[in-house]
Amino acid sequence: MTSWDVHRPPPAEGRTALVTGGNAGIGYFVAEQLAGAGATVVLGCRSADRAAAAMTAIRSRHPSAALSHLPLDLGDLPSLQESADRLDVRLDAVVLNAGMLFDGPDPDERTFAVNHLGHFALTARLAPHLSRNARVVTTGSFVAKSADFAAQEPDGKKVYARSKLAQMLFGFELARRGVFSVVNHPGGALDSLTPSRPPVHTRPTGFRLPLLQGKDAGAWPAVRCVLDPFVQSGQLWGPRLFGLRGRPHLEPVRGILADTALAARVWDLSVELTGVDPAAALLRRQ
Ligand SMILES: NC(=O)c1ccc[n+]([C@@H]2O[C@H](COP(=O)([O-])OP(=O)(O)OC[C@H]3O[C@@H](n4cnc5c(N)ncnc54)[C@H](OP(=O)(O)O)[C@@H]3O)[C@@H](O)[C@H]2O)c1
């Protein structure tokens, strides 16, 4: 494995990446770090105002950053074709980062729809815009390893964990189906440990957990998955200290994450629910 300096990733001029949820949290820092390396970054987000705020914050650090906003609501499946049609750039990577934990009625359906089905369908819709060797980088979570699809509890955190497991299984299955696909997770990344980026984020005072890290560091694995030429399809990257914090390192894919039969079942269900097949769409493009 080669060394990797999270503060000095390789130059990325001439490369273009779409980051879903690039307006806030970890996605903001993925966008900031990719733009800082010279990549053109498209922020896929729901709110034009929040996208503009993120672009202002990034440009305050990288004045010549090449940035744009793609309107994107992952919870609105029919709108994803329209979002993809608005893209006027060729993508070398898409970072499937946006995520939520829905606490209202039907948390399972809503959370699964936004986190997993939205990204599943978006990947298919983006096919004509992804370059031949483009990387699909899926952001999962360490909580996915203990998720259980058989359980039906409407508990928000368990619902969230199942949606993250579905996303990670998707990322690995996409790689098995011949597309360059890498999975990453940010460890534990807290706003309270995240440096301020006005007007996007102001660091609150108070609560600290030394085992965890800020969202700036939470972005490192995804950035490495986009830019490191030695990263390979099918790999899993996460923070090196207990999978919770630190520099990105390669993790083994095992346990439920390596369950290929389960991944195939989730894939088939996702095709049924979205009406699209990202692997077929991406392979048609090649
Ligand atoms: N933070 C952690 O410790 C942690 C740990 C494990 C995994 N993760 C994963 O890392 C990713 C980022 O987490 P985070 O902590 O940065 O979350 P965050 O600060 O809450 O940001 C979430 C992002 O997702 C966007 N989003 C939510 N619903 C969306 C929708 N329907 N369509 C488009 N965008 C939508 C939000 O946009 P709006 O501004 O429009 O709401 C926001 O940009 C998520 O996938 C999460 O599951 C995080």
Give me 215's structure tokens.
Answer: 């969202």
User: Percentage of residues in the chain with pLDDT exceeding 90?
Assistant: 85
Is residue 141 within 6 Å of ligand 1 at its C-beta?
yes
Q: Distance, CA 200 to ligand 1 centroid (Å)?
A: 14
Atom 42 of ligand 1, nearest CA residue: 21
CB 160 within 8 A of CB 113: no
- Express as a percent the part of the chain with pLDDT over 70: 98
Nearest 10 degrees: Cα torsion 253, 19, 248, 13:
120
Count the domains in the chain. Answer: 1
Q: Does ligand 1 have an atom closer than 6 angstroms to the CB of 33?
A: no
113: in domain: yes
> Is 215 close to ligand 1, i.e. is its CB under 6 Å away?
yes
* Shortest-distance Cα residue to atom 18 of ligand 1: 25
Question: pLDDT grade, residue 1 (50/70/90)?
Answer: low
Q: How many whole angstroms from 284 Cα to the centroid of ligand 1?
A: 30
Instruction: Report pLDDT for 152.
Output: 72
CA–centroid distance, 286 to ligand 1, in Å, is: 30
pLDDT band at 172 (very low <50, low <70, confident <90, very high): very high
Q: How many angstroms separate the alpha carbon of residue 20 from the centre of ligand 1?
A: 9
- Considering the entire predicted model, what is its pTM? 0.97
Confidence band of 286 (pLDDT split at 50, 70, 90): low
Catalytic residues: 160
Q: Which atom of ligand 1 is nearest to the CA of 101?
A: 47
pLDDT recorded at residue 13: 98
Q: At what angle do helices 156-176 and 278-285 cross, to 10 degrees?
A: 30
Cβ–ligand 1 contact at 45 (below 6 Å): yes
| Residue 6 belongs to a domain | no
Express each pLDDT in 226-243 by its tens digit. 999 999 999 999 999 999
**Per-residue pLDDT for 249 more than 70?**
yes
For ligand 1, atom 6, the nearest C-alpha belongs to: 141
Domain harbouring 269, CATH code: 3.40.50.720
Per-residue pLDDT at 67: 98
Q: Please tell me the distance between residue 116's alpha carbon and the centre of ligand 1 in angstroms.
A: 12
In this structure, is residue 241 part of a structural domain? yes
Query: Ligand 1: does its nearest atom lie under 6 Å from the Cβ of 27?
Result: yes
Q: CA 171 to CA 102: how far, in whole Å?
A: 22
The finding on whether 18 has its CB within 6 A of some atom of ligand 1 is no
The whole-angstrom separation of Cα 247 and Cα 1 is 13
Closest C-alpha to ligand 1, atom 1: 189
Is 106 a residue whose pLDDT tops 90? no
Residue 271 lies in a domain: yes
Asked whether the predicted pLDDT for residue 185 surpasses 80, the reply is yes
> Would you state the pLDDT for residue 276?
98
Helix axes 260-274, 156-176, angle to 10 degrees: 100
Q: Does the residue 195 lie in any domain?
A: yes
Q: How far apart are the first and last CA of the chain?
A: 29
Query: Does residue 47 lie in a domain region?
Result: yes
Q: Which atom of ligand 1 is nearest to the CA of 143?
A: 6
Provide the residue range defining the domain that includes 241: 16-285
pLDDT of 105 higher than 60: yes
The response to whether residue 241 sits with its C-beta less than 6 Å from ligand 1 reads: no
